[in-house]
Chain A
Amino acid sequence: SQPWVAEAGISLHHFSGRLGEQLVHFQAMRLRDSLFLWVGSAPLLGSLAVAMCSPRDSIPVSTSLLGDPSDTTSNSLAQRLARKTKKQIFVSYNLQNTDNSFTVLIEKRIKEEMMAFPEKF
């Protein structure tokens, strides 16, 4: 009878893509009003950032939780996904390649999957 019970719980969803000659894995975990998204080519958890929309600013606020704070890829990806979904977004980006042109492909692959399986995000 509680909304908690009626609602679908945490959902795990894996997908992958060959991007710039590299096989990239994605592991999404949808929680209530939030999403955890891991990106990598080896099973490493090296960085973690969180972002959420701010009522005062059009750019979502973000912070680095784990890893090298000067590596801003997890941060900016979390910000862009928070802006798109309006959810609290956790991103762990674990690829060597952090070029803008490459992360654009990563983001495109994520958005593709979001379109195809909205219930997983």
Chain B
Amino acid sequence: MEAKPIVASRQRTVVVQGVPTEVVCMAFSNSILVVVTQYGKMGTLVYVDPDVVNNDVGRPVLTTKVLLGQDEPLIHVCAKNLVSFVSEEAGNKPVLLAIALKDKTMEGIKALQEVIQSCQVW
């Protein structure tokens, strides 16, 4: 007797700008896990946290923290670009992003956003 999963998940494998890419999204009650990999691995782990308290404009400020892997400026930019909409749509939940990209161009990131959107579980 197998119980039904309690964590909703969706997964897609697509070729983005010529690069085979895998995306997995899992919805937890307190956060969303997004895996975007072009190497088949978790790669760099980034915690994207919306700070709703520290502003009064309504739009939360996102802080990014590298939990595992190389902490370079570009990874913070990629993380914010890729999943800020996920955090917002999920009702300002934090996003745990696992990211391993060959293509970090703006076009690539934009295309990846669409793949993440198609794995919506939030």
Contacts and interface: CB of A to CB of B under 8 A. Distances in A.
B22 A10 contact: yes
Interface stretch (A32-40, A53-61, A100-108): A32-40
A29 B28 contact: no
Interface residues of B, number: 30
Contact of B7 (A5, A7, A27): A27
Contacts of B37: 10, 31
Interface string B13-55: 1000000101010111111010101011110010100000000
A43 B33 CA distance: 12
A46 B37 CA distance: 23
Interface of B: 2-3, 5-9, 11, 13, 20, 22, 24, 26-31, 33, 35, 37, 39-42, 45, 47, 67-68, 96
B59 to A, nearest CB: 24
A36 B30 CA distance: 18
B47 A10 contact: no
B20 A4 contact: yes
Contacts of A50: 68
A46 B29 CA distance: 10
Please indicate which of the listed interface residues A5, A31, A50 has the most CB atoms of chain B within 10 Å of its own CB: A31
State the majority secondary structure of interface residues on A: strand
A9 interface: yes
B28 A10 contact: no
Contacts of A14: 5, 7
Contacts of A44: 28-30
Nearest to B38: A4
Interface string A39-78: 0101111101010000000000001011000000000000
9 contacts: A5-B20, A7-B40, A25-B7, A29-B24, A31-B35, A43-B8, A45-B96, A48-B96, A66-B67
Contact of B40 (A16, A23, A32): A32
